[in-house]
Structure 1
Amino acid sequence: MQKLTQIITLSVALTVISGCSYVGVYKRDIPQGNLITQEMVSQLQPGMTQEQVTYVMGRPLLEAPFDASQWDYVFRLDKAYGDVEQRRVTLTFDPQGRLINIEQEGDLSKPLPLEGESSMGPATEGVDPMDALPEESTQIRPPASVQPTQQP
């Protein structure tokens, strides 16, 4: 009976130890929303049209459902082993669609610790997919000894 108790205790201990890690679990930074930088916000000026704002900032994350005069750009970075950083820019337009007010929350001046272009994943916007093709053409060319025939 004592040997059975030892075997069960050892089995439970090994199961618990093998399932737990003292090193920790791998976590990733989770960026969500529209990326907002100080350079983008500094390009905004009162009087800009909604199309001009869209060119600078992109489409907003949130639009008021019953009133399209307010656009919200929200960016949230949940750092794996740290705090959550949140940035928010609220743009207000007049009835003619011209920018009249810019409100911002969060520190837009400091750079965000996002992963670089070297990481795996889909290509970023603005990258030409033709750049990935080899330099030399892969067309089949006839050997130099074959001469094209002349037709009368």
Structure 2
Amino acid sequence: MQKLTRIITLSVALTVVSGCSYVGVYKRDIPQGNLVTEQMVSQLQPGMTQDQVVYVMGRPLMEAPFDANQWDYVYRLDEAYGGVEQRRVTLTFDRSGRLSNVQQQGNFSRDLPVSSNQGLGPALEGADPLDALPTERPQAQTPDTAPTPQPVIQAE
């Protein structure tokens, strides 16, 4: 009887300790860096200024520490239940600040899923977080907008 109690206790303890592995763990896609798409890269033309490149691509993730004429745009997507996708675009500028070379690494032909959920924590099904916000803000009264007191006329 004592042996059976030990076996049951050990079985329950092992089940509790390894409980998450049976049910499954919630995972999220982890995007990092600058989102780089094929459309963005196709707009790059040799001779563009750095300001024009920033307008098309955004600010670079990395600038070479010893050479400000090389910009790197890196995007990495660690898919929760899949692999890792990485894209890299290295832009080189000449001495006058004009785009001279574009190098690409990674598969740019596939559209990457971009999550539109910007909230904190998981979203509830059917709940809109904007419904909880007030539609109108109350106006704060300043001395200019405060109502002026009316004189009181007393009859004698």
The unaligned stretches of length 5 or more in structure 2 are: 122-131, 142-146, 152-156
Q: CA deviation at 1:133?
A: 6.8
TM-score by length of 2: 0.73
Q: CA deviation at 1:121?
A: 3.3
Is structure 2 residue 14 aligned with structure 1 residue 10? no
Matches within 5 A, 1:77-96: 77-96=77-96
- What residue is the counterpart of 1:121 in the other structure? 120
TM-score by length of 1: 0.75
SS in 1 for 2:54: helix
- Distance of 1:147 and 1:27 partners within structure 2: 60
- Distance of 1:11 and 1:27 partners within structure 2: 31
- Distance of 1:48 and 1:140 partners within structure 2: 49
Q: Which amino acid aligns with 1:92?
A: T
- Distance of 1:47 and 1:36 partners within structure 2: 20
- What residue is the counterpart of 1:110 in the other structure? 110
Question: Structure 1 residues 34, 11: closer, same or farther in 2, change over 3 A?
Answer: same
Is structure 2 residue 105 aligned with structure 1 residue 99? no
The unaligned stretches of length 5 or more in structure 1 are: 123-131
- Distance of 2:28 and 2:79 partners within structure 1: 7
Q: Give % identity.
A: 59
- What residue is the counterpart of 2:22 in the other structure? 22
**Matched length:** 134
- Distance of 1:106 and 1:37 partners within structure 2: 11
RMSD between aligned residues: 2.6
Q: CA deviation at 1:19?
A: 2.4
Q: Which amino acid aligns with 2:43?
A: Q
- Distance of 2:140 and 2:60 partners within structure 1: 49
- What residue is the counterpart of 1:128 in the other structure? none
- What residue is the counterpart of 2:61 in the other structure? 61
- Distance of 1:38 and 1:88 partners within structure 2: 11
- Distance of 2:41 and 2:61 partners within structure 1: 15
